[in-house]
Amino acid sequence: MELTDLQAWRLRRLFRVLNRLMVILFRLGLGAWGNASKYGGYIMVIKNTGRKSGLSRLTPVNYAMVNGDVYCTAGFGEESDWYRNIMTNPQVEIWLPNGRWAGVAEDVTGLSDRASIFRQVIIASGFAGLLFGVNQKKMSDSELDELLAHYRLIRIRRTGALTGPGGPGDLAWVWPLTTLVLLFLLVSGRSGRKRSRA
């Protein structure tokens, strides 16, 4: 199904909001929350470098693991900013629910088994595939292959595990602080009630 310009614009707006939410969840250390479900899909964050700005960009995308490599699609094709960024600078960092990795991204839309891999990514994308009008259960490989005329299939080969600051969980300090504030409010609220009774 071909999206109209209005449908594509609405999807972009929806995914902008959902993407911000997913980045915040990963940064709070909750990247595995809501991940790996048949509805929400398997989601990772790609840290890429802006081709014009040179700044780091964080982009959540659905993915599938195939033979040890990570595959994802650019649903808006070559127009996707993150896709153009990784084509300019393929050195990326990916945040998976189980770790953080350095990797090299490449467009593999021309692979001979692209339809099979594309199907696995769409299955792993949960509701997102259906929003784009792709029902992997009803489409043949040749129909999926036709979609790849617009979509791009990207393979990311992991080159090494990463640790240290600036990755997923960098905002996890919020949890102990929030707990202390809530405990303080709870204790001060109780002592205030005791004083008012006396």
Distance (Å, rounded) from C-alpha 78 to C-alpha 81? Answer: 8
pTM of the entire structure? 0.78
Query: By the 8 A CB rule, do 1 and 133 touch?
Result: yes
Task: Look at residue 30 in the predicted model and tell me its pLDDT.
Answer: 83
Query: What is the mean pLDDT, run by run of 10 residues, along the chain of 198 residues?
Result: 65 73 85 66 92 94 93 87 96 93 95 88 76 70 78 94 86 81 81 60
DSSP structure class, residue 79: G
Quick: pLDDT tens for 93-137: 999 988 899 999 999 998 988 888 988 888 888 766 666 666 666
For residue 125, what are the CA distances in angstroms to 44, 47, 172, 192?
11, 19, 26, 51
